[in-house]
């Protein structure tokens, strides 16, 4: 489908659109409004975090023709906050408005099987894997894929739709538990660390990169991201940025994107997955970068110049899950000690306005800033103690 013809750049005061009402959409709204734009959010949830702060909340399903038409007629350019937006909806919107990123890019990333094959086609290495469509595919995979991780090809996030499998029989059981949906079976690799690169690519091909974040996951959910401002030019960071650029160019991607990588014990860099949107590991940019990932998304969507990605300081980002509302000893629900958090120098608290705290639900994050990484980590230890969450510098 041909892209809509919209004069660029779109000036402040005009309308931008967001599909999705979660916390990423909320932070996008704040960034867009700070630049003078108005934002319309399409999301079916009456209590959505983004809908609560948007200038217009269109309460409709992501494939609702009336809602999509209303969004397209109001907004000259539209973006997304999650990858599972129906690609057909993006195609429909693109006939009237600019859509960043486009349906072609998102459709590839929505399916782990297509995603893995695509990344390989760019020359960026991935973990050994096999596409699994039925039980007989598990019977045919090579033995060196065990132990491995079976991942549903679609709709999985934050560790959902994933199972660690040590044997072929465990893989069969996991596939059955997933309802027989298409999956990817990936070999487990000897990891030294995990890192991610958040980048932005404009329609003219210009690209900028944020310093890569060193990440720690717990139960499949990002827990900690660390950026040492003094190590932005490390060889592994440059290699990761180059790999992310190859992926973005191959996708003809326009927008903000994150690529997650594994660093193996032998030093090799392996691409894990692509997020076609701002990313949890890029939340540190809200306080520790000249231009945040959300302002960057606004700039790309509106056709404005890309922003400066330079670091202002070192930073530790701590995710806040709903677990911190529950006392560890008694299990009873209570309010976290925000006073203690905000008493820590360098701590910047961001809560997402969600109405109910549930275990495992992302409720906010804290960016802890420091002139040096040691200073940021020391302050982050105090924040983690106040919230009763594990953190080991």
Q: Which residues are annotated as a binding site?
A: 112, 151, 156-162, 186-189, 194, 217, 272-273
d(CA 44, CA 51): 9
Alpha helical stretches, state H, 185-337: 235-251, 285-288, 293-302
Q: How far apart are the first and last CA of the chain?
A: 50
Query: By the 8 A CB rule, do 151 and 179 touch?
Result: no
Query: By the 8 A CB rule, do 224 and 391 touch?
Result: yes
Give the 3-state secondary structure percentages of the chain, helix then strand then coil, rounded to 5.
35, 30, 40
Query: By the 8 A CB rule, do 365 and 351 touch?
Result: no
Q: How large is the angle between the packed helices 235-251 and 112-121, nearest 10 degrees?
A: 110
Task: Tell me whether strands 221-227 and 213-218 are parallel, antiparallel or unpaired.
Answer: antiparallel
Residue 224, beta-bridge partner list: 216, 318
Token couple for 8? 């660029």
- Annotated binding residues for ATP, written as ranges, equal 112, 151, 156-162, 186-189, 194, 217, 272-273
**b/e sequence 36-69, b meaning 16+ C-beta within 10 Å:** ebbbbbbbeeeebbbbbbbebbbebebebeebbe
Query: By the 8 A CB rule, do 80 and 18 touch?
Result: yes
């Amino acid at each position: 489908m041909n892209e809509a013809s919209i004069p660029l750049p779109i000036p402040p005061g005009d309308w931008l659109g967001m599909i999705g009402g979660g916390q990423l959409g909320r932070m996008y709204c704040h960034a867009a409004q700070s630049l003078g734009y108005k934002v319309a959010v399409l999301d079916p949830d009456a209590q959505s975090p983004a809908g609560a702060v948007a200038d217009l909340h269109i309460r409709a399903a992501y494939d609702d023709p009336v809602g999509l038409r209303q969004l397209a007629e109001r907004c000259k350019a539209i973006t997304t906050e999650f990858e599972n937006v129906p690609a057909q909806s993006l195609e429909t919107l693109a006939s009237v408005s600019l859509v960043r990123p486009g349906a072609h890019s998102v459709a590839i990333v929505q399916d782990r099987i297509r995603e893995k094959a695509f990344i390989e086609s760019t020359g960026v290495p991935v973990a050994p894997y096999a596409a699994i469509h039925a039980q007989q595919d598990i019977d045919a995979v090579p033995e060196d894929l065990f132990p491995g991780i079976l991942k549903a090809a679609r709709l999985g996030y934050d560790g959902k739709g994933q199972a660690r499998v040590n044997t072929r029989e465990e893989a069969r059981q996991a596939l059955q538990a997933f309802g027989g949906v298409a999956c990817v079976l990936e070999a487990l690799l000897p990891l030294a660390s995990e890192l991610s690169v958040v980048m932005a690519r404009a329609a003219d091909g210009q690209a900028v990169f944020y310093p890569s974040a060193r990440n720690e996951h717990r139960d499949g959910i990002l827990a900690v991201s660390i950026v040492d401002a003094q190590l932005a030019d490390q060889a592994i960071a440059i290699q990761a940025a180059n790999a992310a650029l190859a992926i973005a160019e191959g996708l003809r991607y326009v927008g903000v994107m994150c690529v997650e990588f594994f660093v193996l014990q032998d030093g090799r860099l392996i691409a894990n997955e692509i997020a076609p949107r701002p990313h949890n590991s890029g939340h540190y940019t809200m306080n520790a970068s000249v231009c945040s990932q959300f302002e960057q998304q606004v700039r790309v969507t509106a056709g404005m110049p890309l922003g400066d990605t330079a670091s202002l300081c070192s930073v530790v980002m701590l995710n806040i899950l709903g677990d911190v509302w529950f006392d560890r000893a008694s299990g009873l629900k209570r309010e976290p000690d925000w006073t203690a958090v905000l008493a820590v120098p360098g701590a910047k608290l961001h809560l997402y306005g969600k109405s109910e705290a549930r275990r495992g639900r992302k409720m906010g994050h804290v960016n802890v800033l420091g002139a040096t990484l040691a200073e940021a980590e020391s302050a982050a230890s105090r924040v983690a103690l106040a919230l009763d969450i594990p953190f080991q510098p």
